[in-house]
């Protein structure tokens, strides 16, 4: 039978010896001809050719590679070789329907024993989890864009995008060699199974051809167990499978001539994947390949037009040489002893690959670039030695923090690991009083150590080698960690604080030698070692111990004194679970006096020697100063909660707590000692001035974040943020909602008047307000005829008739009594009234500046008239020499023409003061008028007030308040309930 897939003459001659095999070969080639001829690799639009030309090229290369002087190669060998060349990349032609059938859960594709094959649906699920976590660089390299790709819906392949097709293509590429084996056995996956498969061969023959095809994507020796179990790796049924594997894997490399990536396609295709573009360009750069005078050497002539293609070609040629070396080694092992059968003569026609790139200096003279790899790199340990101290400062406490956070992470990981496995009873964890124990101790030889011991997941030897001891490497980014501890959506299942991969090096801030003992639950024995940062070789010994990790750092007397004297500096943990305890176990502190180092440092650390006055008792516990609510727990009084995507929980408070905590590890300490070199870095709060007036400034709350995904933008020193919170807007809204709930629950129930309680308005007792020192600021709240409102210019305009009254309260007068002048009281209650902050008699001398401060805060309002005590310092802006009225204690000044409203108010005030007015609890009473020409901007706090309350005033009567503002009570329910509960607690405490 004639076929359009041409078999090399050498193989044709061998196949001619067995017409039955030749017929089967022709049937198989004919079966796949249409697929290869169509050459539509839907999942690989940007790859080099994998059609008929590629198959023929690989067969030609295979025929060229065979060295068989003894005529050992049989027709069976030739048939298997042709079939393997046909199958080795045929998976690249998989159709959409075929892929769906391949990875569907109801498809039971044969699992090939000895290769430890996972079911295809399981492989696909694992790949999907990995793909969801591709970073920008991986996405850029694989798919030409850093943008994430949505996982394709297997039920709707007709809707798959080009990017989703390439995502599937990457999965097929990784496993195409395995699929070649299964196609040989089961046929090509499609709408119905077995339609496209090798023809005319029995199952064993198909299986062997499949293994040969499969071998080009795996180590050659990795096939031996399978062959030994089912056949024979040296020879079976006149087939020499391992020799054929060596031929195919090298032939696939050598099929690199320019025709594999036709230039005419490049003119109409835009190669967006850098990897694909580099492959095409690499093939185009190979101009010639020939055998040199040395018949066992292949010379390749290349013309790379840039360093990227140059480096890719160097990698390609190095790969070919590596395959040649390993193939010759395996062939020697299997066949060299069998001289009588002539098997020792089997080999490859070439042993070496050379190129015009080998002479780097000579090649450099021919191109316009320097042919060498250049990239940013670091000098390993030496760089870390240079960076650790400048980065963290001379702070031993930082070393403790790194050890503690890693230990807490390990405990959480083991808890989750055992939960997933469901075999908690099978793991023997380290037996100790707490999940993490930090001990400052003295050994029998007199040396001092800081030891951190945990009941966590421990480390394997591989983890120690590749992550613990490697600067910048973090296990959390590894595929193995993500597979266990991340969800399908790519979210971490556990809270984990470590993220930068420099923790072990920070421990050298404590001392220059560490001791490590650890064991992972999957290991029968543990690992232990001692090392310093300068050790060139670290010996990892075996340790018989329970699951967990113990890390000790040898410290000198100066570090010991610092840790003893400032034990609050290394009190980094603020949760109850996992449990953390700290102890001091030092018998003889007075021995420190003999240290010349400590004596010499007394001037730098003036308090450091005071620690010798202590007499530590064996195993003295140290106090954990903060214990914050757990993630998702019932919150303590004063704590509030917000939700934000990616965070497990976010809690905040104005109460006593560290300013910023992440996963229980304190980021910003409270009241950090001023002598430290570590600065107090407050979180980056922006927009906290929620209104343009100082009376409504909020203090930054303390935040406790539970951040499993590492979204909090911590700086490298972990003592602050690099930018504002991701949840900044949600936090600001929560702060405002909490304040609104506070006003609804505790807001005054009477308007400001001569007999009202001014302090209810002045401070409003809200813990989040930051009031500047001294008097002169306005009260946060104001009273209007219909209810209370914010003392904020925009809202004041909304709830007044164009004028307001500003009162300056004399706090030295005590609590005002009910005023006898009911007419004046009633008049005040019909005004929108606000208070100026806490004036006293002592403030009289500075009255002018205080009053101006109050006036400055009320943007958009101007002074009309003012009653004021005559003992106040004259204000140059007031025409005190032209009073409208005055007596011995008071004076009335007006800056505007009288109106009906001002005349009535002035009449009442004059009458009141003429009758005595000695019990008037204020030092001034001013009328303010709106400036019609001035536009007042709406601050964030007022926007939120109107958005939630939908009215500028809150009724005085609590029943009416709840009825009219039911919508606000419902929206603010968590905050309302919190303030109601806290108000009840306050009442109980007062009684």
d(CA 951, CA 964): 10
Q: What is the C-alpha R_g of the chain?
A: 41
Instruction: Tell me the H-state helices in 95-161.
Output: 96-103, 120-131, 136-143
Strand segments (E) across 425-491: 436-442, 448-454
Cis preceding-peptide flag for 310 (omega within 30 of 0): no
CA distance 922 to 925: 7
SS3 649: strand
- pLDDT of 148 higher than 60: yes
Alpha-carbon span 792 to 695, nearest angstrom: 9
Q: Which residue has the higher pLDDT, 315 or 960?
A: 960
The proportion of the chain whose per-residue pLDDT surpasses 70, expressed as a percent, equals 74
pLDDT at 553 > cutoff 90: yes
User: Exposed e or buried b for every residue in 817-851, given b needs 16+ CB within 10 A?
Assistant: eebebeebbebbbebbbbbbbbbeeebeebbeebb
The number of C-alpha atoms within 13 Å of 84 and in the hemisphere containing its C-beta is 33
Query: Rounded to the nearest 5 degrees, what angle is found at the Cα of 958, between the Cα atoms of 956 and 959?
Result: 125
Q: How far apart are CA 160 and CA 45, in angstroms?
A: 14
User: What single string gives the DSSP state of each residue in 801-845?
Assistant: SSEEEEEEEEGGG-SPPPPS-HHHHHHHHTSEEEEEEEE-GGGGG
Query: CA-CA distance, 688 to 681, in Å (whole number)?
Result: 17
> Domain limits of the chain?
9-361, 388-622, 750-956
Beta-bridged to residue 695, according to DSSP, are none
Contacts from 120-125 at CB under 8 Å and sequence distance 24+?
123/171, 123/175, 124/171, 125/488
CA distance 54 to 86: 9
Helices 307-335 and 241-254 cross at an angle (nearest 10°) of 170
The C-alpha atoms of residue 734 and residue 742 are separated, in whole angstroms, by 12
Does residue 661 contact residue 667 with C-beta atoms inside 8 Å?
A: yes
Six token digits for residue 222: 């990795």
Residue 689 makes CB contacts below 8 A (sequence gap 6+) with 697
Provide the pLDDT confidence category of residue 832 given band limits of 50, 70 and 90: confident
- Tell me the C-alpha distance between 967 and 964, whole Å: 8
Residues 563-597: tens digit of each pLDDT: 888 888 899 999 999 999 999 988 765 555 445 54
Rounded Cα–Cα distance for residues 746 and 748 (Å): 7
What CATH number belongs to 388-622? 3.30.565.10
pLDDT digits (tens, 9 = 90+) for 851-909: 555 555 566 677 777 777 776 655 656 666 677 777 777 777 777 665 555 666 677 67
On whether the CB atoms of residues 320 and 299 are closer than 8 A, the answer is no
Vertex 547, ends 546 and 552: CA angle to 5°? Answer: 85
- Rounded to an integer, what distance in angstroms lies between the CA atom of residue 448 and that of residue 451? 10
pLDDT at position 434, please?
93
* pLDDT tens per residue, range 702-733: 999 999 988 898 887 788 888 888 898 899 99
Structure confidence by residue, pLDDT tens digits, 357-372: 888 888 888 888 888 8
Compare 546 and 501 and report the one with higher pLDDT: 546
- Dihedral in degrees, nearest 10, Cα atoms 878, 884, 890, 893: -20
Q: Is the dihedral of CA 206, 212, 213, 217 positive or negative?
A: positive
Q: What is the pLDDT of residues 401-455, one digit of tens each?
A: 989 999 999 999 999 999 888 765 678 888 899 999 999 998 888 889 999 999 9
């Amino acid at each position: 039978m004639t076929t359009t897939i041409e078999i090399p003459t050498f193989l044709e001659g061998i196949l001619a010896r067995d017409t039955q095999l030749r017929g089967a070969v022709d049937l198989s080639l004919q079966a796949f001809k249409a697929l290869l001829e169509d050459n539509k690799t839907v999942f690989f639009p940007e790859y080099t050719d994998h059609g008929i030309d590629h198959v023929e090229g690989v067969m030609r290369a295979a025929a060229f590679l065979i060295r068989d002087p003894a005529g050992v190669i049989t027709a069976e060998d030739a048939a298997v070789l042709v079939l393997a060349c046909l199958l080795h990349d045929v998976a690249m032609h998989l159709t959409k329907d075929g892929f769906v059938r391949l990875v569907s859960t109801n498809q039971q594709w044969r699992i090939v024993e000895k290769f430890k094959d996972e079911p295809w649906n399981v492989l696909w699920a694992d790949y999907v989890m990995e793909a969801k976590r591709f970073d920008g660089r991986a996405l850029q390299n694989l798919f030409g864009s850093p943008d994430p790709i949505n996982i394709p819906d297997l039920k709707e392949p007709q809707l798959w995008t080009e990017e989703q097709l390439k995502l599937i293509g990457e999965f097929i590429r990784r496993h195409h060699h395995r699929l070649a084996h299964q196609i040989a056995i089961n046929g090509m996956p499609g709408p119905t199974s077995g339609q496209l498969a090798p023809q005319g061969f029995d199952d064993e023959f198909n299986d062997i051809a499949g293994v040969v095809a499969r071998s080009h994507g795996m180590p050659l020796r990795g096939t031996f167990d399978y062959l030994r179990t089912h056949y024979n790796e040296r020879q079976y049924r006149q087939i020499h499978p391992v020799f054929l594997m060596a031929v195919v894997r090298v032939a696939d490399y050598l099929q690199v001539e320019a025709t594999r990536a036709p230039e005419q396609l490049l003119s109409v295709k835009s190669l967006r994947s850098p990897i694909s573009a580099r492959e095409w360009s690499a093939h185009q750069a190979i101009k010639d390949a020939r055998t040199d005078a040395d018949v066992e050497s292949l010379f390749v002539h290349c013309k790379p037009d840039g360093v990227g293609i140059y480096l890719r070609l160097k990698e390609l040629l190095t790969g070919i040489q590596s395959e040649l070396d390993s193939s010759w080694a395996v062939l020697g092992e299997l066949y060299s002893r069998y001289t009588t059968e002539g098997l020792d003569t089997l080999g490859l026609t070439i042993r070496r690959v050379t190129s015009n790139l080998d002479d780097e200096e000579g090649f450099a003279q021919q191109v316009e670039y320097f042919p060498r790899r250049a990239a940013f790199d670091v000098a390993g340990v030496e760089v870390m030695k240079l960076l650790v101290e400048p980065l963290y400062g001379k702070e031993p406490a930082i070393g403790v923090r790194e050890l503690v956070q890693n230990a807490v992470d390990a405990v959480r990981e083991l808890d989750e690991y055992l939960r997933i496995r469901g075999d908690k009873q099978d793991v023997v964890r380290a037996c100790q009083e707490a999940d993490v124990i930090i001990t400052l101790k003295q050994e029998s030889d007199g040396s001092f150590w800081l030891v951190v011991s945990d009941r966590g997941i421990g480390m394997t030897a591989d983890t120690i080698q590749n992550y613990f001891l490697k600067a910048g490497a973090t296990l959390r980014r590894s595929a193995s960690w993500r597979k266990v501890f991340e969800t399908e959506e790519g979210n971490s299942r556990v809270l984990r604080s470590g993220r930068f991969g420099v923790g072990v090096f920070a421990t050298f801030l404590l001392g220059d030698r560490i001791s490590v003992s650890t064991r992972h639950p999957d290991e029968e024995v543990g690992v232990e070692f001692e090392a310093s940062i300068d050790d060139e070789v670290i010996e990892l010994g075996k340790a018989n111990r329970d699951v967990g990790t113990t890390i000790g750092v040898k410290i000198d007397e100066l570090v010991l004194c610092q840790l003893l004297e400032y034990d609050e500096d290394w009190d980094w943990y603020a949760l109850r679970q996992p449990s953390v305890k700290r102890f001091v176990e030092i018998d003889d502190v007075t021995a420190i006096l003999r240290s010349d180092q400590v004596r010499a440092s007394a001037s730098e650390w003036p308090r450091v020697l005071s620690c010798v006055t202590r007499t530590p008792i064996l195993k003295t516990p140290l106090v954990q100063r903060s214990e914050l609510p757990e993630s998702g727990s019932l919150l303590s009084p004063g704590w509030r909660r917000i939700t934000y995507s990616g965070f497990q929980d976010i809690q905040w408070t104005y109460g006593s707590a560290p300013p910023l905590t992440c996963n229980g590890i304190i980021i910003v300490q409270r009241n950090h000692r001023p002598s430290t070199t570590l600065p107090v870095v407050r979180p980056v709060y922006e927009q906290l001035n929620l209104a343009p007036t100082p009376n409504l400034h909020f203090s930054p709350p303390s935040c406790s974040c539970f951040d499993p995904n590492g979204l909090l933008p911590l700086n490298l020193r972990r003592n602050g943020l690099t930018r504002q919170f991701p949840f900044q807007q949600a936090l600001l809204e929560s702060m405002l909602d909490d304040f609104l709930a506070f006003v609804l629950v505790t807001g005054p129930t009477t308007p400001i008047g001569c007999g009202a309680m001014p302090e209810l308005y002045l401070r409003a007792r809200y813990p989040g307000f930051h009031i500047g020192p001294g008097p002169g600021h306005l009260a946060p709240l104001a009273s209007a005829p219909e209810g209370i409102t914010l003392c904020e210019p925009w809202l004041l305009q909304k709830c007044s008739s164009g004028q307001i009254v500003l009162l300056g309260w004399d706090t030295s007068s005590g609590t005002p009594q009910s005023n006898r002048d009911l007419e004046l009281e009633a008049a005040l209650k019909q005004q929108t009234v606000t208070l100026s902050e806490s004036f006293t008699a002592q403030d009289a001398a500075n009255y002018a500046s205080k009053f101006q401060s109050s006036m400055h805060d009320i943007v958009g309002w101007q002074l009309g008239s003012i009653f004021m005590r005559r003992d106040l310092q004259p204000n140059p802006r007031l025409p005190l020499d032209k009073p409208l009225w005055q007596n011995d204690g008071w004076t009335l000044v007006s800056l505007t023409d009288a109106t009906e409203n001002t005349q009535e108010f002035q009449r009442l005030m004059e009458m009141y003061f003429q009758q005595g007015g000695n019990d008037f609890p204020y030092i001034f009473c001013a009328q303010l008028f709106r400036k019609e020409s001035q536009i007042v901007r709406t601050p964030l706090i007022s926007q939120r007030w109107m958005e939630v309350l939908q009215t500028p005033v809150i009724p005085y009567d609590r029943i009416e308040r709840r009825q009219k503002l039911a919508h606000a009570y419902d929206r603010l329910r968590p905050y309302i309930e919190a303030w109601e509960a806290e108000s009840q607690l306050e009442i109980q405490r007062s009684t």
